Copies of this chain bind each other. A is one copy, B any other.
Amino acid sequence: MSKPYVVGIDIGGTNTVFGIVNARGQVVASDSVKTLKHSNFEDYIADVHEGLSRLIKANELEGQIQGIGIGAPNANYYTGEIQNPPNLPWGNVIPLAETVSKAFDGIPVAITNDANAAALGEMTYGAARGMKDFIMITLGTGVGSGIVINGQLVYGHDGFAGELGHVTMKRHNGRVCGCGRTGCLEAYCSATGVARTAREFLEIRQEPSLLNNLDIDAITSKDVYDAAMAGDKLAKEIFNYTGTILGEALADFVTFSSPQAIILFGGLAKSGDLLMNPVKESFNKNIFHAFKGKCKIMISELKESDAAVLGASALGWEAKYHYEAPVAAAAADPSTTAIPVEPEK
């Protein structure tokens, strides 16, 4: 019988947030640790284990955790490993699922990247409840995506499907992207992309703008948002430019999987009509006729503070892999009764 709680862990570049979630999608308790406090991976996991164990104990939930879901950069669902993460210091292949399951005496663990976790969260608890086909686009520092087809997350043959932030939107004179290529969606439609657009516009254009009062090198997407909300014309144009490119990209995505909805999540998605109006206009202008009027563009219904933990926790319900102690140790320790289960492909 399945147990009544799951744990969600979101491993970000700065903080690692974790929480205990019940079947109704309520975060019962949560806490966080600094991700980069420890240069050693085992020490980091010990830190997470300690914090999480404290939460479990304080809420008297020992033995009631069905599984642990983890959202982490470059997490491979199939292998349970973080592979070649750009911003974590623990090596190129980090055995995340195994180490966490071992720390928690064999509780099943499943891992995926944060955008996939967000899609699962949206499907389990948010705007995509009841949907079998949708695409989640996360608009944060970068642009991520989680694709659901036929009610299942798309992992691809290698566990890394859904990198829609890196489709090419500008084939000529495209901006250099963090990935080393040029013209990627992420270079335009992320929070950093909006700031780059602001800098480009301010360098070229001579008209007055509230943004001229700011240090051009330190401008953020939040500054552009504030200026636009104060009626600044140039700031509004920056959102139009961003939304137009995003709408073009979303129209292309629909030709792939014909989803019921595309759900936008993350800081930029909270810009409301400033972003959504140009996105929808561009989307409707560019969409292939067979899909016209069939696919909604929506904003996530998950509270951002909870979303990362909720999304990761949704994976916990179906986690299958769990650590099994080596045979000799198992013989010595009769409490180890885990049955080995391979991560599914």
Inter-subunit contact A257/B156 (CB<8 Å): yes
Give chain A interface residues in 220-273, CB to chain B under 8 Å.
248, 251-253, 255-260
Contact of A157 among B162, B169, B259, B345 (CB under 8 A): B259
Stretch of A5-13, A16-24, A31-39, A146-154 contacting B (4+ beta carbons < 8 Å): A146-154
Inter-subunit contact B290/A160 (CB<8 Å): yes
Inter-subunit contact A248/B168 (CB<8 Å): yes
Chain A residues close to B by CB (< 8 Å):
74, 84, 131-133, 147, 149-150, 152, 154-164, 166-171, 179-181, 248, 251-253, 255-260, 286, 288-291, 294, 345
Q: Which of A133, A152, A159 has the most CB of B within 10 A?
A: A133
Contacts of A259 in B (CB 8 A): 156-157
A-side interface mostly: loop
Contacts of A157 in B (CB 8 A): 131-133, 258-260, 294
Inter-subunit contact A163/B257 (CB<8 Å): no
A255 and B154 in contact, given A179-B289, A248-B171, A286-B181 (Cβ under 8 angstroms)? no
Report how far A294 CA is from B257 CA in the complex, Å.
22
Inter-subunit contact B147/A257 (CB<8 Å): yes
Contact of A167 among B74, B252, B260 (CB under 8 A): B252
Inter-subunit contact A256/B258 (CB<8 Å): no
Q: Which 8 A-B pairs have the closest CB atoms?
A: A156-B258, A161-B258, A133-B157, A163-B255, A157-B260, A166-B288, A167-B252, A161-B257
